[in-house]
Structure 1
Amino acid sequence: MLRDYQPTDAEAVGRVALAAFTQFAPHYSDWPAMANNVSRMAELSRTGEIIVAEDDGRVVGAVAYVGPNKPKAAFFDPAWPIIRMLVVDPSTRGKGLGRQLTEECLRRAERDRSAVIALHTTPIMTIALPMYLRMGFTKVCDAPDIFGVPYAVYVKALV
């Protein structure tokens, strides 16, 4: 079940985010700093909408949708809505939760009458990146590395 984030979800969302990113720890030059950033995913609720995936009362995934003209990294066009921090608990992967969370972001971008939606990701995310490409996202430019890991910006047309 997908639902909107509540402040009481902060700890669970942070825990799922950290569990989802831990497999990538060896790739980051400063994993403790990256882990600290990831575990604070709930802070994205200040400027965006966090969507939570719940299974039997337990948070098992989340994503942040940051709408058009909301604060975001300078490498994104400010008018674009963006998808941030798609995370799924490793114990529940393979059930389509990542795709469902992404599709909910697409619905929100359409609700906001946006012509495109963007995200940034990295080739080390060997499940997420191919999923985004299958869903119609295309690379538009490189983004700054994060702790030594290369990232790029991807956009999907919605109209």
Structure 2
Amino acid sequence: MPKIRDFLPSDAKQVDSLALRSFEQFKGSYQDWPGFRAKIGNMSCLVDVGEIIVAELECRIVGAVVYVGPNASKAEFFRPEWSIMRMLVVDPNFRARGIGRTLAQEAIRRAKRDGASVFALHTSIVMEVALPMYLRMGFVWVSDAPAIHGVDYGIYVKELDG
């Protein structure tokens, strides 16, 4: 299993590159791939809005996610008191090893640490591996979210036990 740890400033280049590799398979789905690519290629900048958690294996970062706590600034389609996660990414060469689930579970652990009763995310049906994983983890669809460059997204939540 990978080592799960907090992001360090020296991780920025690896995390940004990882985000691009992770989303590359979806480039045909987004109407403005160059515009979307520019956003995801700066994943490390999300350290300003939340906690970036990384998964390290064989001395390299193979996964990352951004955790944003309750009452922190987030998109208006999320309720302010919810904890959320953004940009769960796993290196395509390291998929099917439980890294995404481990990162999601760490973000949920932090939400519980922060006293959140609901944990949320937004994702799309084009995410053919991630969405079923979230559903198996107990997330349920609650509403549509705004489309991103032509790709429909939904908001999914998980009720947290103390």
TM-score of the alignment, normalized to the shorter chain, above 0.5: yes
Name which of 49, 52, 60 aligns with 2:54: 52
Q: What's the counterpart of residue 6 of structure 1?
A: 8
SS in 1 for 2:27: helix
**What CA distance in whole angstroms lies between the structure 1 residues aligned with 2:158 and 2:107?**
12
1:110-154 alpha-carbon deviations (Å, 9 max, x no partner) = 101111100000000000000000000000000000000000100
- TM-score scaled by length of structure 1: 0.99
Q: What's the counterpart of residue 136 of structure 1?
A: 138
Q: Give the superposition deviation at 1:56.
A: 1.6
Residue 123 (structure 2) pairs with residue 121 (structure 1)? yes
**What CA distance in whole angstroms lies between the structure 1 residues aligned with 2:20 and 2:130?**
16
Structure 2 unaligned residues grouped into runs of 5+: none
Q: Give the superposition deviation at 1:50.
A: 0.4
Q: What's the counterpart of residue 86 of structure 1?
A: 88
**What CA distance in whole angstroms lies between the structure 1 residues aligned with 2:45 and 2:141?**
27
Equivalent residues, number: 159
SS in 2 for 1:37: helix
Name which of 18, 21, 24 aligns with 2:23: 21
- TM-score scaled by length of structure 2: 0.97
Residue type at the aligned position of 2:4:
L
**What CA distance in whole angstroms lies between the structure 1 residues aligned with 2:42 and 2:88?**
13
SS in 1 for 2:86: strand
Q: After TM superposition, what 4+ stretches of structure 1 lie above 2 angstroms from structure 2?
A: none
Q: What's the counterpart of residue 73 of structure 2?
A: 71
**What CA distance in whole angstroms lies between the structure 2 residues aligned with 1:81 and 1:7?**
23
SS in 2 for 1:142: strand
**What CA distance in whole angstroms lies between the structure 2 residues aligned with 1:129 and 1:21?**
14
SS in 2 for 1:123: coil
**What CA distance in whole angstroms lies between the structure 1 residues aligned with 2:73 and 2:118?**
17
% identity of equivalent residues: 55
